[in-house]
Structure 1
Amino acid sequence: MRVRPSQAALAGGVALNLLLLLFYWRWGAPPPPSCRGPRAVPGVTVVLFAAESSEVADTLGTSRSFAALPVPVLLVAEVAPYPPVPLPAGVSLLRLRPALEGSPIRPELHVRTRHVAFVPDGARAVPGLLERMRDVLESGGNDGDGNGEQLRVVAAPVGTAPPRCRELRVDARGWTVSYGPAVPLGGSGTSCGALEGPSVLLLRTRDLFSLPLPLAQPAPASLFIQAAARRWRLRVLPAPFPAALRPPLSPHDAWKAADLAQNRHRRLMAELGVKREALADGADRWYGCTKTTPRCFGTVHARTPQYLLAGRWTPPCCLRALRETARHVVAVLEGSGVRYWLEGGTLLGAVRLGDIIPWDYDVDLGIYREDVGKCRWLAAAAAGTPVEDPEGFYWEKAPEGEFYRVHFSRANRLHVDLWPFYARGGTMTKDTWLGHPQDVEFPERFLRPREPLRFGGFTAMGPNSPRSFLELKFGAGAVENPEYPNPAVRRMREDGGPLGGGMGGEGVI
């Protein structure tokens, strides 16, 4: 049988299509050539971050030193250095700030090697030391420590000052980074969370660009925090890189450098979503809301703040403001003779933790309605006149109904709600009900007498038999079984478990 050319072409096309289908089924479709990243090659790319104008000469000295090894050197800057400087051979510039008429910035396309090293300004190259760091990383990269941590970063100090390590803990859910005390380096292969002082940091290129902020500055702090959040281990080698001799900065240049470092650090904390740094000496550095700024979250819908939907709890700056407002309101009420008690979820937090529930967004107090006139600020609010007291707290009648609200300030609307109850036939009731499940009447006997409870670092009055009071409000087992305010929107089990249950979002090295 003679096969016509058209039949042969048709049969060839069918066979080709079958082969293509087999290929896609077996191996998957290859990405278009324009979407492929550069193939990683052996070696280390040195990444330098451009310094300010007073230090450009040493940045160039560092880049020349490492380019002479030779290794590829990438100078990273927001914009091109000004005044313009000629880059040594083997050094390329990556500008992070995109130009309106330019192309999208894709830093990962500028690193072709399998490993990358962050090198601080002023360091000098040592032949073979980058390769030694790479070998340590690859020889220990699959060794876990039993806590789910793997070696992902190798560090080497710069200069002659003895390096010191700090423990570093990241609680992403709590918006907090905590540091342990600095301790001397213990010897070869020491692991720690953060290295104090300048250091060269080496990691795999694929690990670097798996981070959400791979080239954020200051680079060491950014890498340490992001590594700790992922439970990456960091190993420190004792062999140092030398540091260039540099003349001391003038007082003005020293001030400029310190101010720049502080501003960069604050910007990094904002980019990472860190509201509080807990220092080893017990002090705190805060980066969230204050009395002069709005609170960290917007209007709450369905009793579920936006941060809960993001898998986080109340920002610590907001909790601090709520505690301060509650302490102030309690002091004013007690000084005015207004009978009050911890209500609802606030009482639940006091019984369970002696504090605000970590995901709560306000504080609730019950008061006797007949006592409102005893407090000048409440009386003004009841008359429809919002008023700011001498401490800057803002008292007003709530727009939602017959109750009162005390804000942290005019600008920051974190608040304490004051619910006026009155007795009717031995039962405490009120005129405004917002439909919350725990919003129910209760026997006045729970307030005869009231009892002191620890709450948020001070003492406040609560009902007697608080557990029975809470079970009347929330149901049996309310104290032992934490749950978010509106389980229909988000349940606690979606975030990994109850209080203290080892929920996700925390890493420690």
Structure 2
Amino acid sequence: MLRLKLVGQDSWQEEDTGDPLGRLVVLVREFETFDNDVGETVTSVLRACGGLCRAALVSDQIVYPSLVLPPRVSSLVLTPDLLRPHPNIHHLLSGARHVLLLPDGARCSSSAQLRDLVHLLEGGDAQVVTVGVGGTPLTCHRYTLQVAAWTLTVAPAPQSVACDAVSGRAALLLHAKDLLNLTHPMARPLPLSIGVQGAARGWKLSRIPPNTSIWEDGTPPCCLEGLRATARHIFQVLKGCRAQWWLEGGTLLGTVHSGDIIPWDYDVDIGIYAADVERCPAIKAARWQTLEDGEGFVWQRAPDGNFFQVHL
């Protein structure tokens, strides 16, 4: 495997072409290191903007397993170490006018979609413009922040277009100078973080209606069916070895909401007790080696964290 190559940002100093996309930087921050679609996400954006915009990957640590990224994609690791100085987000966004915060797995099909977002931001009075990704509508929220009392009151505002924050898979566009003026510009989760920090500054967020702009999601139906088949296989294995298991994270949310995997999800989150690992031969063996079971499913330990991965 190759480690993620850290590309210097000095090459990003480019002449202003007059096209708004020439001063747009797309940041991918919301992704999982052990399973993601970052490479295809940034490739689709660079293709849509005709190579005019720039893209960057922001992570807490060096990503491993390494990602295959296009040459124009830079990266910023937020945690310094002995050989890596403190990160400089201002350097990363040098020369940028707008920043698009894009969730992993999103797809942009045309430059018109990007220009529409820029024009809405420039022509309105909101500090952030957001659009839903994957066809799921965004929920608008009102924030009442009382810093002295350490309290944040969140109230839904379903009929409002101007919000303090949104929930759901969203692409967020804002001015680079506004992002850089935040105390914690890269704190996750980004929609919540920017909503709280923006509320403290009196910002407003403009929510684009779902039918205004269509942003596709990167999980095709065939992959969703693969996730379902993998989940059913794992359930049978866990049942066969009498292990206790439960659903977690986005998988649990999708099950409660619709009885199925969330359409834009790319993994299934299942929890088991550590003591039950000894009961299940496949999981027990995967602690030390990658193995394929009799039905073609590959079991392995994840490279970081106390996780196991099962692939079809």
TM class by smaller structure: 0.5 to 0.7
- 1:255 paired residue number: 248
- 1:99 paired residue number: 81
Whole-Å separation in 2 of the counterparts to 1:153 and 1:234 = 5
| Seq. identity, % | 29
Structure 1 residues 65 and 254: alpha-carbon distance in aligned structure 2, compared to 1, 3 A threshold: farther
Whole-Å separation in 1 of the counterparts to 2:154 and 2:92 = 33
Whole-Å separation in 2 of the counterparts to 1:75 and 1:132 = 23
Whole-Å separation in 1 of the counterparts to 2:14 and 2:70 = 25
Cα shift at 1:253: 11
- 1:370 paired residue number: none
One-letter code aligned to 2:196: I
Structure 1 residues 170 and 116: alpha-carbon distance in aligned structure 2, compared to 1, 3 A threshold: same
SS of residue paired to 1:68: helix
Q: So what's the TM-score if we normalise by structure 2?
A: 0.61
- 1:232 paired residue number: 203
Structure 1 residues 154 and 229: alpha-carbon distance in aligned structure 2, compared to 1, 3 A threshold: same
Whole-Å separation in 2 of the counterparts to 1:255 and 1:211 = 32
- 2:68 paired residue number: 86
One-letter code aligned to 1:163: L
Query: Does the 8 Å CA contact 1:167/1:179 hold for their aligned counterparts?
Result: yes
Q: So what's the TM-score if we normalise by structure 1?
A: 0.38
One-letter code aligned to 1:114: R
- 2:23 paired residue number: 43
Query: Does the 8 Å CA contact 2:144/2:154 hold for their aligned counterparts?
Result: yes
Whole-Å separation in 1 of the counterparts to 2:196 and 2:146 = 10
Cα shift at 1:92: 1.3
Query: Does the 8 Å CA contact 1:45/1:115 hold for their aligned counterparts?
Result: yes
- 1:124 paired residue number: 107
Q: Confirm or deny that 1:223 pairs with 2:194.
A: yes
Cα shift at 1:40: 9.5
Whole-Å separation in 2 of the counterparts to 1:50 and 1:88 = 18
Query: Does the 8 Å CA contact 1:182/1:196 hold for their aligned counterparts?
Result: no
- 2:38 paired residue number: 59
Whole-Å separation in 1 of the counterparts to 2:15 and 2:91 = 10
Q: Confirm or deny that 1:110 pairs with 2:92.
A: yes
Whole-Å separation in 2 of the counterparts to 1:224 and 1:253 = 31
Whole-Å separation in 1 of the counterparts to 2:193 and 2:15 = 24
Q: Deviations over 1:452-508 (max 9, x none)?
A: xxxxxxxxxxxxxxxxxxxxxxxxxxxxxxxxxxxxxxxxxxxxxxxxxxxxxxxxx
The equivalent position to 2:54 in structure 1, one of 52, 56, 72, is 72
The equivalent position to 2:180 in structure 1, one of 180, 205, 209, is 209
Structure 2: tracts of 5 or more residues without a match: 1-12, 17-21, 235-244, 253-312
- 1:160 paired residue number: 135
Whole-Å separation in 2 of the counterparts to 1:96 and 1:51 = 14
Query: Does the 8 Å CA contact 1:50/1:59 hold for their aligned counterparts?
Result: no
Query: Does the 8 Å CA contact 2:30/2:103 hold for their aligned counterparts?
Result: no
Cα shift at 1:43: 2.3
RMSD (Å) for aligned C-alpha atoms: 2.7
Q: Deviations over 1:219-254 (max 9, x none)?
A: 111111111110111111122311122534748896
User: What pairs with 1:397-436 in structure 2 (closer than 5 Å)?
Assistant: none
Whole-Å separation in 1 of the counterparts to 2:33 and 2:56 = 18
SS of residue paired to 2:137: coil
- 2:218 paired residue number: 244
One-letter code aligned to 1:104: H
Query: Does the 8 Å CA contact 1:67/1:89 hold for their aligned counterparts?
Result: no
Cα shift at 1:258: 7.8
Whole-Å separation in 2 of the counterparts to 1:101 and 1:124 = 35
Query: Does the 8 Å CA contact 1:44/1:130 hold for their aligned counterparts?
Result: no
Rg (Cα) greater in structure: 1
